[in-house]
Amino acid sequence: MAATPEAHDGQTDGDRAAADTYAESDRARVEAANQADRNRSMIAHGRRIGGVAGAALAGAMIAVRDVYEGAKRDQGQVVVDAPSEPHDVDRDGVELSAEEIGGTAAVAVPAQVRRPPIQTRRKSRSRSR
């Protein structure tokens, strides 16, 4: 019984990648069309308010906006899988060996005792007569 590269939904990884590429290009096309509609709407609004000069000023403001905002940068998302749960310093404290910190002595800091949250008292209004 040989393993097939098909997923549970019947699509292979290649099919899924092609669909993702198509969806991404479709999203970009729709975004560009929405941006063009927005710009035309701004120019039409400027024309209604100020005639040809208003339309020209609206077009200039669109150009200034595009220069100021610049091209959109892909910020990306970084996902890192950890083999275990992260160390809870508040609960467990910290213990570092001399080799880890590059010194001659190891460091151990116990966890601090949890204190109740600080709550401020409400000031009551006193009536002055």
pTM of the predicted protein model: 0.42
Check residue 2 and give its pLDDT: 47
Q: pLDDT averaged over consecutive 10-residue blocks of the chain (129 residues)? A: 51 79 90 93 93 94 90 78 79 85 86 84 68
Check residue 71 and give its pLDDT: 78
Which whole-number Å values give the CA distances from 22 to 14, 29, 34, 35, in the listed order?
12, 11, 18, 20
* Domain layout of the chain by residue ranges: 14-69
Check residue 16 and give its pLDDT: 82
